[in-house]
Amino acid sequence: MEFQLTLKIIVIIGVLIGGYATLRNLDVIKIILIYLKDVILRK
């Protein structure tokens, strides 16, 4: 029972860290997507 609780806590912390990292990098992802769109449509 303790192992399952520990595993759940580790998974929840991992999801929170992943979500935070994704939100922090959204502006970078938007810039990259805009650049790629411009490169594709320019040709």
pTM of the prediction?
Answer: 0.56
Q: For residues 6 and 26, give the distance between their C-alpha atoms in angstroms, rounded to a whole number.
A: 30
Note the Cα 11 to chain centre separation in Å: 15
Q: For residues 10 and 4, give the distance between their C-alpha atoms in angstroms, rounded to a whole number.
A: 10
Residue-by-residue pLDDT tens, the chain, 43 positions = 899 999 999 999 999 999 999 888 888 889 999 999 999 988 6
Q: How many residues does the chain have?
A: 43
DSSP letter at 25 equals T
What pLDDT, on the 0 to 100 scale, is given for residue 42?
Answer: 84
